[in-house]
Amino acid sequence: MELAENRPKWEQVAEVIAARIRAGQYGPGTRVPSVLQLQAEFGIATVTGQKVMRSLREQGLIETVSGMGSFVVEQ
């Protein structure tokens, strides 16, 4: 997926992952891609991937379990 230049990349990637969650591609309890996987898929930096995860947590879409990963929460 190509990202646009006019918005922060973290915001665009967070939007893509949020859309996948809402569409059911990642259902409740499903692990979402890690920061490393986001880096590989979208060509972003670690800090950018961390912003994506923070945004998804703040939106109430995922929860992160230390040492386990991040998972979709029941909506």
pLDDT tens series, the chain, 75 aa? 667 678 999 999 999 999 999 999 999 999 999 999 999 999 999 999 999 999 999 999 999 999 999 999 998
- pTM reported for the whole predicted model: 0.91
- Domain extent, residue 57, equals 9-72
By C-alpha distance, which of 59, 58, 34 is closest to 46? 34
Q: Is residue 39 domain-resident? A: yes
Which pLDDT value is given to residue 63? 98
CATH code of 43's domain? 1.10.10.10
Domain tally for the chain? 1
- The angle that helices 35-42 and 9-22 make with each other, rounded to 10 degrees, is 110
- Judge contact between 37 and 46, C-beta under 8 A: no
Which H or E run includes 65?
A: strand 62-65
